[in-house]
Chains A and B, each alone.
Chain A
Amino acid sequence: MTTIVAVADGIFDIRDGKPVLLGTRCTNCDNHMFPRQTGCPRCLFNEQEDVELATRGTLWTWTVQAFPPKAPPYLGPVGDDFKPYGVGYVELPGQLRVEGRLTISDPEQLKIGMEMELVLDPLSIDDDGNQVVTYAFAPVENGDQS
């Protein structure tokens, strides 16, 4: 069986086959940050705690990556194997807006305000035969399609 590995450490954990984003919360002003970092750009305070971010939110804006990115750095398939993918910011209520790939790329199906949830998205197979994955947002089935 293929082992699933994250594209990098410290960005998200994988739990029950789903990603959980690793963020930081400023203990002074409650500002949430992603990825993890030290120092708060909002209140300039330097005391933060590690938090896990919400796994659902609403689509704030989006586009479609219709041409293959340069590789490197891109790890996904390029050339004839390239498939367009959506990219968007999803607003996690009370926290922040996180940028990520979207599992759908049809402009007809993408609507600002629609409900999205985190899923794993396969990128490539590494030299050791592991499946490299990143996080992505997928529409919530039966979710609010506004």
Chain B
Amino acid sequence: MSDVAIVGIGMHEFGRHDGISGMDQGVTAVRRALADCGQQWSDMEFAVGGSMDGGAADTMVSRIGLTGLPFTNVVNGCATGGTALAQAVNTIQSGAGDLGIAIGFDKHEKGAFRIKGPRGKDWYGGSGLALTTQFFGMKINRYMHQYGITQPTLAKVGAKAFRNGALNPMAWRRKPLSEEEVAESLMLSYPLTQYMFCSPGEGGVAMILCRADKAKQYTDRPIYLKAAAVRTRKFGSFEVLAPSIAIEHDPGPTAAASKAAFEMAGIGPEDVDVAQLQDTEAGAEIMHMAENGFCEHGEQEQMLANGETEINGRLPVNTDGGCLANGEPIGASGLRQVYENVLQLRGDAGERQVPNDPKVAYTHVYGAPGISGVTILSR
């Protein structure tokens, strides 16, 4: 992969923001990313942006500047932000532009996602099966049965997320919760309780990318993108919102995207110093540790018990509190992970800074209907 660098990052706080539209939050993120590297909107040669419920991203140009730049909208489920980033990378690598911006923002209604099928024929939603939460409960329930992961370990993941979120000024949920509070909160979708699930939320993230050989023009601390890979499901993988699945087994799009990204970067999981993994719920973080190659299936039980995924552990995971503490604005979520890794690699993560000068950082998003996006960054 020829080199692309991230030179500017901007974020609008995640959470609930009454009276501020999803688009407003995207615009704020753009302005902050531009300020971060001292550039103007008129310097942007291209833009890629996405949102699920916040409106068409390209319409924001009427507020930030009608400069005529090519602006591509992407919509790719939970991987929308990751896809925007991958497209921006492709644009630079193809030579179509040297400096551009990737943008993701969103604002969802409260509660679980409302997923509707075709009108008048919606037997799936009508029967009470169109809930993403059910899939997560069923996937981790099967996984616990197969690999001996226990319920207290799920609670450990939740408590870690809120502990890390409390150290992150941009996070939605900033109150630490004990393992007991997580375990004893309302059971929503067995074996997962309320505080083991993230909530659909609001927020925006933008990042400015350029050809690596020009990065020093914009910042003295460029972060290099070593890999950005997106994969969809293959036959036999177990995915969200599936009325049926095959008996044949495929390890799924996360394993495929991870493998592709490590090959692109020319490194392995043992080289990663900090990782942000899709934690739609506590079980997802556990399963994704193995699917991304950071351990064998079942080893997570001991790793969590040893504190290996804490900020000062061997492999810090979800240092900004992840989806659990930040909520999930679909369009912005994947870019939030990259934002956090840029802070960590710059050494700017404040109270939640991973010690010992991390050099390689990894992100992973997963979502409906079976899509994963992985990035690998390095200093």
* Interface positions of A from 53 to 98, Cβ below 8 Å from B: 60-67, 69-70, 72-76, 85, 87-89, 91, 94-98
**Is the pair A73, B122 in contact by a Cβ cutoff of 8 Å?**
yes
Say which one of B68-76, B97-105, B113-121, B297-305 lies at the interface with A: B113-121
Instruction: Specify which of A66, A88, A100, A123 lies most central, judged by the most chain B CB atoms within 10 Å of its CB.
Output: A66
Q: How many residues of B contact A (CB 8 A)?
A: 39
**Is the pair B128, A96 in contact by a Cβ cutoff of 8 Å?**
no
**Is the pair B190, A63 in contact by a Cβ cutoff of 8 Å?**
yes
Residues of B within 8 Å of A101, CB to CB, are: 127-129
| Interface range for A | 35 or more
Please, which residue of chain A has its CB at the minimum distance from the CB of B236?
A: A42
**Is the pair B116, A11 in contact by a Cβ cutoff of 8 Å?**
no
A143 within 8 A of B: no
Residues of B within 8 Å of A96, CB to CB, are: 244-247
B35 within 8 A of A: no
A67 to chain B, nearest CB (A): 6
Please, which residue of chain A has its CB at the minimum distance from the CB of B136?
A: A63
Residues of A within 8 Å of B141, CB to CB, are: 61-63, 112
B147 within 8 A of A: no
Please, which residue of chain B has its CB at the minimum distance from the CB of A96?
A: B244
**Given contacts A65-B131, A69-B112, A69-B130, is CB(A98)–CB(B189) below 8 Å?**
no
**Is the pair B190, A107 in contact by a Cβ cutoff of 8 Å?**
yes
Residues of B within 8 Å of A73, CB to CB, are: 114-117, 122, 124-126, 130
B112 to chain A, nearest CB (A): 7
**Is the pair B244, A99 in contact by a Cβ cutoff of 8 Å?**
yes
Please, which residue of chain B has its CB at the minimum distance from the CB of A107?
A: B190
Residues of B within 8 Å of A112, CB to CB, are: 141-142, 145
**Is the pair B138, A63 in contact by a Cβ cutoff of 8 Å?**
yes
Please, which residue of chain B has its CB at the minimum distance from the CB of A91?
A: B247
**Is the pair A87, B129 in contact by a Cβ cutoff of 8 Å?**
yes
B121 to chain A, nearest CB (A): 5
**Is the pair B142, A75 in contact by a Cβ cutoff of 8 Å?**
no
Residues of B within 8 Å of A100, CB to CB, are: 127, 129
**Given contacts A65-B189, A97-B247, is CB(A74)–CB(B123) below 8 Å?**
no
* Interface positions of B from 183 to 241, Cβ below 8 Å from A: 186-192, 235
Instruction: Specify which of A69, A100, A101 lies most central, judged by the most chain B CB atoms within 10 Å of its CB.
Output: A69
| Bound-state Cα–Cα, A33 to B248, Å | 13
Residues of A within 8 Å of B115, CB to CB, are: 73
**Is the pair B129, A99 in contact by a Cβ cutoff of 8 Å?**
yes
Q: Which of B117, B126, B128, B191 touches A65 (beta carbons < 8 Å)?
A: B128
| Bound-state Cα–Cα, A8 to B112, Å | 24
Residues of B within 8 Å of A65, CB to CB, are: 128, 131, 134, 189
| Bound-state Cα–Cα, A135 to B127, Å | 8
Please, which residue of chain B has its CB at the minimum distance from the CB of A72?
A: B116
Residues of A within 8 Å of B243, CB to CB, are: 34-35, 98-99
Q: Which of B116, B124, B129, B246 touches A42 (beta carbons < 8 Å)?
A: B246
Instruction: Specify which of B138, B142, B244 lies most central, judged by the most chain A CB atoms within 10 Å of its CB.
Output: B244
**Is the pair B244, A66 in contact by a Cβ cutoff of 8 Å?**
no
A131 within 8 A of B: no
A134 within 8 A of B: yes
Residues of B within 8 Å of A6, CB to CB, are: 123
**Is the pair A7, B188 in contact by a Cβ cutoff of 8 Å?**
no
Residues of B within 8 Å of A64, CB to CB, are: 137, 187, 189-190
**Is the pair A76, B128 in contact by a Cβ cutoff of 8 Å?**
yes
A31 within 8 A of B: yes
B375 to chain A, nearest CB (A): 28
A17 within 8 A of B: no
Residues of A within 8 Å of B123, CB to CB, are: 6-8, 11, 134
Residues of A within 8 Å of B128, CB to CB, are: 65, 69, 74-76, 85, 87, 101, 123
**Is the pair A62, B138 in contact by a Cβ cutoff of 8 Å?**
yes
| Bound-state Cα–Cα, A115 to B129, Å | 21
| Bound-state Cα–Cα, A65 to B192, Å | 11
A-B contact pairs, 18 of them (CB 8 A): A7-B123, A7-B127, A8-B122, A42-B246, A62-B138, A63-B138, A72-B116, A72-B125, A88-B138, A89-B245, A91-B247, A96-B246, A97-B247, A98-B244, A99-B243, A112-B145, A123-B128, A134-B126
Interface set of B (CB-CB < 8 Å, partner A): 111-112, 114-117, 121-131, 134, 137-139, 141-142, 145, 186-192, 235, 242-248
- Not counting A61-B142, A67-B186, A73-B130, a sample of 12 additional A-B residue pairs whose C-beta atoms are within 8 angstroms of each other reads A6-B123, A64-B187, A64-B189, A64-B190, A66-B186, A66-B187, A87-B129, A97-B245, A99-B129, A99-B244, A123-B126, A132-B126
Q: What are the nearest 4 A-B pairs in CB distance?
A: A73-B125, A63-B137, A8-B123, A61-B142
Interface set of A (CB-CB < 8 Å, partner B): 6-8, 11, 31, 33-35, 41-42, 60-67, 69-70, 72-76, 85, 87-89, 91, 94-101, 107, 112, 123, 132, 134-135
